Chain A
């Protein structure tokens, strides 16, 4: 599903966030990317999410070589990925339902169909009752679940999450992790970057450990 070979990312100014990283994530796997702050987790996530481009090496996600992709093709690749961000990136000027509908509107779904699927996604994360609530009225855990609903509403084959439990208490974090496990059980490839060793030890998934931009 995701194959990286000799992947490097150098930022302008010369800082090398990733050095010569190679790995393979098979379809349906659940993978944790771990490491200290600044180890390159977020950079790797951004490369996989096609938000940033590799400086060298190749990265194939979902059959697409991201390093060779033309700019015009990027949006269509991104639509097949479910992204969850550390800061959630919710839109606070609209309801929970409208937040979840955004990817479907981008894909051009008719409104009625979009509402139906967005409600199904909200139901999946246990927020259907709060569909009309504004994000500001949701708790931290609920906001993260809302972000997950938005990520899965397009039924992506890959879910990529960057520190999804970063700002949550333990109970909320457990809920989130259980959700990821649920999606993984139905065949979705899940990649989670986290510095929280706790989850790695309890669920025993494939682990990519980064240290100063290199894979250990």
Chain B
């Protein structure tokens, strides 16, 4: 166990020394890896923010349920009992009188409302749904539309659907981008490690004939690949934070134009660690492929 630990520490030390020994190469490799990781990571953060914007702040969706104008109290009670069974969430009954009163209270409308011979507004329910998936909401809307004395069910979800479709597309594009850049990261590591194996051919050959196991020879390269990838991930996180900082002011201005406030949500600690982890994993993979291929000639 001690020997095992000591060997891993030695391999890690060797990997760090190799990174440190060629600062310019290391810097360039880190930059390439960081850029490869930054693009998908930045896209992920932006999508995440867009999704935040799409969802209601309280996480609920509203559905308006208008009854026929001639619906009686009994019909209203019937709808209410059906709602109790069908919908998860809260609802509020808005009587035609209440609706008219509300309409009157808005300045420009009062005169118009007064000129009407009778109340043209129907009774209505405003339902706050806890479920937000467009598909589920659509099913619910169809079901409620079929109830007696229900004139119209309005789900303000058309734009949510569009946003959702866009987000889906963007997410797919992001995955493809991430796949391509991930492969790039693996390739960069592959090449770095290949050059290292060539540079250390003498040491590897000697180590083998005096009793080094394959694991002993491979280990420093694995550490090197993982370290390089992980550090590249951290640099990428830095670039993402930098980009967010640059975007913060314009986004606030844009939000102000729409009369709202919005601050971009920066990636958290967990996401930074995940980014470094993904970088390390891909680096390790590149090292693994490279070492397996490069060491064949020593057999």
Q: A residues within 8 Å of B by Cβ? A: 49, 51, 75-79, 83, 89, 91, 93, 102-103, 105-111, 150
- B211 and A75 contact, CB distance less than 8 A: yes
- A76 and B209 contact, CB distance less than 8 A: no
Interface string of B216-237 (1 = CB under 8 A from A): 1000000000000000000000
**B203 close to A (CB within 8 Å):** yes
Chain B residue at minimum C-beta to C-beta distance from A74: B211
**B139 close to A (CB within 8 Å):** no
- A103 and B4 contact, CB distance less than 8 A: no
Q: A105-B10, A106-B216 are in contact. Are A79 and B210 (CB under 8 A)?
A: yes
Interface size class of B (residues with CB under 8 A): 10 to 19
Q: B residues within 8 Å of A by Cβ? A: 2-4, 6-7, 10, 202-203, 205-213, 216
Q: Which residues of B contact A77 (CB under 8 A)?
A: 211
Q: Which residues of A contact B4 (CB under 8 A)?
A: 108
Q: List 12 A-B contacts (CB under 8 A).
A: A75-B213, A75-B216, A77-B211, A83-B209, A91-B202, A91-B203, A102-B206, A106-B210, A106-B211, A107-B3, A109-B6, A111-B6
Further 18 A-B residue pairs, CB within 8 A, beyond A103-B210, A108-B7, A150-B210: A75-B208, A75-B212, A76-B211, A78-B209, A78-B210, A78-B211, A79-B211, A89-B202, A89-B205, A89-B206, A91-B202, A102-B210, A106-B210, A106-B212, A106-B213, A108-B4, A109-B6, A110-B3
Q: A89-B206, A91-B203, A91-B206 are in contact. Are A108 and B211 (CB under 8 A)?
A: no
Q: A89-B202, A91-B203 are in contact. Are A110 and B6 (CB under 8 A)?
A: yes
Q: Is the interface of B mostly helix, strand, loop or mixed?
A: helix
Chain A residue at minimum C-beta to C-beta distance from B210: A103
Q: A108-B4, A108-B7, A109-B3 are in contact. Are A103 and B209 (CB under 8 A)?
A: no
Once bound together, how far apart are the Cα atoms of A203 and B208, in whole Å?
Answer: 33
Quote the shortest CB–CB distance from B20 to chain A (angstroms). Answer: 14
Q: Which residues of A contact B212 (CB under 8 A)?
A: 75, 106
Q: Which residues of B contact A49 (CB under 8 A)?
A: 209
Q: A75-B212, A75-B213, A111-B6 are in contact. Are A106 and B207 (CB under 8 A)?
A: yes
Which 4 residue pairs spanning A and B have beta carbons closest together?
Answer: A108-B3, A79-B211, A78-B211, A106-B212
Quote the shortest CB–CB distance from B9 to chain A (angstroms). Answer: 9
Q: A75-B213, A89-B202, A91-B202 are in contact. Are A110 and B2 (CB under 8 A)?
A: yes
